[in-house]
Every structure is written in structure tokens, then in C-alpha cells.
Amino acid sequence: MNEASVQQFERLMIIVWRWRDPDSDDRLQEVDYGEWGVWEPVWEIEEDKKAGIIRIDPCLMKEEPYDPQGTPRTALEKSIRDIEFLLSHRTNLEQKTQVYLHTTHTYSAEHKNDLLAIVKKLGCTCEVNTFQFKDSALYISPKSPFGLLGEDGSWGKTVDKDKLHYAKKSDHLITKDHFDFVWEFFQRLPKEKTYDLCESVLLTLQPLVYNEAVTSLEEYTRQVKNIEEKISVYLANFSADARFYDFCATLTTLQLALKNDDREHLKGLLQQVRQDSIKLLNTLPGNHIYA
């Protein structure tokens, strides 16, 4: 793999997973490319020479003791440096990258935030996502027949309405419908999560704050706690992404006002949530325009 092969793709997925099917020809082998990398040649997408997938398996990376030159100590840290190396050759804003970290490998919000800091430093166009077994559109199943991953550490396949779906078209070639489905799903996801949170915040809190709903103190407390939990999950996922800074700052202030039961302050904050969310939603990928 060389710089040109990374730069040629307008859309590139980097999937960090345990690619471990021992009986498959697709098993990712331990190969050392360059200073950091343990990966393989890019998987291309049928009928789209501008799209590709790179597979990384941290389980193939040997643990190394830390040294003064800053060599990563763990396989997880090494895989983060791998991704940084790849992204450093994709700083053209037209080169879009999606990174997927498998949480079973103990990738955490901290690792995601580390990568987002790298994305900000490099100035590249990159989404960073975490996923886990069967809880992601990445996995192929009868309910999600256009996913990419199987259950056994290999590319997936399934039957839907008597039709067999294969993520893998042929050697080092992925089916276009599967790639496009996953790419577009995760591209839309931040916008959908932002809209869903804003809707929950406004629909739940406005009646409570403006006394439009008669409710017991117990019910009020329950609803506020539910909103606080939703905000916390959203902040954990997006607060380190520069695009979300302003909206997340408003949400953090909202959380504090909820904690202090400052209803007068909440009235102004709800209006700010609406304004900031509209501004953010109209900058995120997706067709719908909000006003």
C-alpha cells in the first residue's frame, strides 16, 4: 500500500474488527506495511473505483513495551496510530472517510475522542463510529440484508425473501449496494440523532417549564431524569466533534439548569436549543432542510 492508493478514494471505510475466520480465504493476515500499519490492500467496490474499504485487526498487532520515542504500548493504541497514518494522506476535504471501532475490543469513548482530536488536527473529513455485535447496521442479517459484516469475522451473507445477499462480490471486491447502504446509514446518523434529541427535549420540557401540563412532582422528576440521560448519551457521542461544539455547550448548560430546577433560565435555554439545533442540522449530511 502506498500514499497514492489511499488518496485515490473519494469514499473510504476503515473497519477495525477481529477479522478472524480461520477457514476463509478472506482472513486478514499479519502483514507489516510501513512504520505502523498492519493492514492489507484496499478492498474495492464494484462499479465504483472511487470507493474502498481498509480492514484493520488489532488482534494481529503485537503488544510492545512503551519506549521514549513514543511507540504505542498496546494493540489498541497501535491501531489508532494506524488510522492516523492513513488519515494523514487524506487531508483533501473531498476525500471522505468513515472509521468504525468495534467496542468488544474495548475501544471506548476515550479512543473515539482521541481519533476525533486527530481528525481536527489533520483537518480531514472523517466520521468516527463505534459498533458492537448485532447492534449496528454494519452487520448483515435478514432484517438488514445490505450490511457488510457476518458473525464469524468475515464478510456477511444472508437470505431475505428467498434472495441471497453477499457483501463480498469476488476477491477483494465488495458489492456496491452493501457499501452504499452502510455508508449512507452512518452518514445520516448524526443528523437523525440530533433531530431525535432536540424533539425529545422540546416536547418533554416545554410543557413542564411553561406549566402547560399538570403533573406530579414524581412524574416531573422522572421526565427530567429521562431527558438528562438522553443528553448525557448524546454528549458522550458527539461532544468531541468540532461540528457539535456549540450545540453541546448549550446542552451542557441545559443539564445544569435542569439539575438546579432553574425554570426561568430553562425557558431561554429551550429557545437556544431550538436555534442551535436548526443551525447544526442544516450543516450535517442529509437531504432535509430545517427552519
- Among residues 174, 205, 224, the one where a domain terminates is 174
Please check whether residues 131 and 25 belong to one and the same domain: yes
Would you say residue 150 lies in a domain?
yes
Residues 235-256: pLDDT tens digits? 988 988 888 999 999 999 999 9
Please check whether residues 155 and 268 belong to one and the same domain: no
Question: Residue 206: in which H helix or E strand, if any?
Answer: helix 176-209
Q: Give mean pLDDT, residues 266-274.
A: 93
Buried/exposed code over 276-288 (b: 16+ C-beta within 10 A; e: otherwise)? bbeebbeebebee
Please say if the pLDDT value at position 69 is more than 60: no
Name the average pLDDT for the chain. 83
Rounded percentage of the chain residues whose pLDDT exceeds 70: 81
Please check whether residues 168 and 193 belong to one and the same domain: no
Please check whether residues 132 and 203 belong to one and the same domain: no
Please check whether residues 113 and 24 belong to one and the same domain: yes
Top mean pLDDT of 32-36, 78-82, 161-165, 181-185 is at 181-185
- Among residues 149, 174, 199, the one where a domain terminates is 174
Helices 245-259, 217-238: axis angle to 10 degrees equals 150
Please check whether residues 48 and 148 belong to one and the same domain: yes
Residues 74-118: pLDDT tens digits? 777 778 888 998 899 998 888 999 999 988 766 777 888 889 999
What's the number of domains the chain is made of? 2
Please check whether residues 83 and 142 belong to one and the same domain: yes
CA angle (57 as vertex; 74, 98 as ends), nearest 5: 105
pLDDT at 213: 62
Please check whether residues 47 and 140 belong to one and the same domain: yes
Domain span holding position 103 = 3-174
Please check whether residues 20 and 164 belong to one and the same domain: yes
Would you say residue 288 lies in a domain?
no
List phi, psi (to 5°) of 139: -85, 140
Would you say residue 80 lies in a domain?
yes
Would you say residue 164 lies in a domain?
yes
Would you say residue 44 lies in a domain?
yes
Residues 52, 9 contacting (CB under 8 angstroms): yes
Please check whether residues 112 and 221 belong to one and the same domain: no
pLDDT at 35: 44
Would you say residue 290 lies in a domain?
no
Please check whether residues 213 and 96 belong to one and the same domain: no
